[in-house]
Amino acid sequence: MKGPIMRALSGVAAITLAMGAAPLVAQGGPTDADLMNDAKSTGDVLTYGMGPQAHRFSSLNAINSGNVAKMVPAFSASLGGEKQRGQEAQPIVYDGTIYVTGSYSRLFAFDARTGEEKWQYDARLPDGIMPCCDVVNRGAAIYGDKIIFATLDARLVALNRNTGKVIWNKQIADYKEGYSATAAPLIVNGMVITGNSGGEFGVVGAVDARDVNTGELIWHRPVIEGHMGTLKGKDNGITGKLNATWQGDLWKSGGGATWLGGTYDPDTNLLFFGTGNPAPWNSHLRPGDNLYTASTLAIDPATGVIKWHYQTTPHDGWDFDGVNEFIPFDATINGKPMKLGAKADRNGYFFVLDRTNGKFIGAHKFVMQTTWANGFNKNGKPNYIVEGRPPAPGDAKGKPVFASPSFLGGKNWMPMAYSQDTGLFYIPSNDWGMDIWNEPIAYKKGAAYLGAGFTIKSIADDHIGALRAMDPKTGKIMWEYKNKAPLWGGVLTTGGNLVFTGTPEGFLKAFDAKTGQELWKFQTGSGVVGSPVTWEQDGEQYVAVMSGWGGAVPLWGGEVAKSFKDINQGGALWVFKLPK
């Protein structure tokens, strides 16, 4: 257990013109209205997820299934230096500039037409930071004259988007206790909303809202029951009910990190945040459901009050974080129009909920195996397979059991996409398992708090990764593309009947959104674990993605990771278009 964490710690020590429907230049830059309109405006990319609901869908169709085979690079821009590892970011594109975050808490501004670097900001990181799962950063947020991102020492930094100079810099949490931050911030109603990372260190997951102009805290909502929330500096009620699902003082170090960030639904005026694993991994040390870990929470953006919750893995014993993005969508089921939300969970099930109240609609398996549970009952509770839970260890290492998916998940952090044209979700998934066993553990502030060991294993001869198209109404997988290495990057879908995603082997690929036929690929020189985007500029459609292998797989993947040890690290922004 110590090896992967120590390797991570040693590594740490060591565009556009306004072409959308809404005016984009106001008060020095994008406004709240512009951010809410991001899914419809095509001349920019203003939010993580290409819209507050994070559909990652663009109506652009100049590049389409009929001509994508002709797509060529427009330019490539290097992040430079020696810190080339784990480029998981999604670009932001505005007013002729592409903003991307890089590993080790860096932020870059590139000219969207030439690729020339405009400025670079490097956070000054202390030596003692403790990220569990590599030195990645997944993206920035833009608002007015600011570009804002989180850092590995659990800080939130706002820079002037034109110069890269610091406007404000605020602490989210104490990195010495194991906290960090890697997610792209979410901006709603003049507030920048962030979560935290560090679930493997027994931290307490939380969601914060800050004034986007000053960085001052507006509200703070812990996601583990028993902890007090705040609003404008005053107590605002505890989360849940003390000791309802946690025994004794275990809630004080309960985990539940909100490390992936959230989505926002203007229709219901709700924030949706997923929560991570309970701490420690050894479930026998913390009897109960352990709310609100491994859950989706609906939060009032004005007050930070939790309006509803749904727990995808009660009493998690496999590190099945429930942080995966919850994507709002509308559909008609059994003749009834419904406001729904979907989530492809680490535990291998694709969940559909009524997003107005959290009511369970259905859960569909989207991976090869789920040895921990055999489906979900009508009340939304898992049908546990008793022998699938690793047993209590006693005074020494417990008996290993085989579990699938592995703790790296049927889907990990990498965001899926939803096409408004096809009505399908496109899920970057992985088929793998693990031997897992429990071990004795005691909490110590700032130290790894697992109480488990594992060995990840392949379960198929021909693939680990699989891009799957799922119909959320039926749970049917319409097509799949299998990839030898794990898929670890995000997905983009467009009105051109296209789906884009990258592979660790270095390719950005395009598929037919209806059939899954591979139509185009390009070798970027390093593994693609970022999230692609598209926009319109000077009358042409562009596609961009970050390249640079890294993330949790090479750190935690064990024997599986050794199979892909020869993938070169890197750090580059690649931008593509059709030739004139």
Ranges of beta strands (E only) in 132-260 are: 141-143, 146-150, 155-160, 166-171, 186-188, 191-194, 206-211, 217-222, 228-231, 234-238
Nearest-angstrom CA–CA distance, 199 and 204: 7
* DSSP for residue 536: E
* C-alpha span between 156 and 461 (Å, rounded): 43
Task: Write b or e for each residue in 387-426: b if 16 or more Cβ atoms lie within 10 A of its Cβ, otherwise e.
Answer: ebbbeebeeeebebbbbbbbbbbbbbbbbbbbbeebebbb
Q: What are phi and psi of 206, to 5 degrees?
A: -160, 160
Tell me the residue type at 292: Y
99 contacts 149 by C-beta, under 8 angstroms: no
Closest CA to 47 of 148, 160, 162, 151: 148
Q: What secondary structure, in 3-state letters, does 439-485 show? A: CCCCCCCCCCCCCEEEEEEECCCCCCEEEEEECCCCCCEEEEEEECC
Nearest to 490 by CA among 139, 196, 115, 151: 139
* Residue 278 Cα distances to 282, 318, 395, 406, 565, angstroms: 9, 10, 21, 16, 31
φ, ψ at 70 (rounded to 5°): -90, -5
CA 353 – CA 338 distance, rounded (Å)? 10
Structure tokens that stand for 207 in this block = 């969601």
Q: Please indicate whether residue 319 is annotated as part of the active site.
A: yes
Residues 530/489, Cβ–Cβ less than 8 Å: yes
Strands (E) located in 491-558: 491-494, 498-502, 507-512, 518-523, 533-537, 540-547
Q: Which of 289, 319, 321, 431 is catalytic?
A: 319
> For residue 474, what are its two tokens?
């039926």
Tell the residue number behind the tokens 């697992």, with chain if given: 450
Measured in degrees and rounded to the nearest 5, phi and psi for residue 345 equal -90, 160
CA atoms within 13 A on the CB side of 187: 30
In this structure, what DSSP letter does residue 517 have?
Answer: -
> Which amino acid is located at 16 in the chain?
T
Task: Report the DSSP pairing between strands 57-58 and 491-494.
Answer: parallel
Alpha-carbon span 411 to 430, nearest angstrom: 6
Alpha helices in 109-257 (DSSP H): none
| Measured distance CA(499)–CA(56) in Å, rounded | 10
* Residues assigned a catalytic role: 319
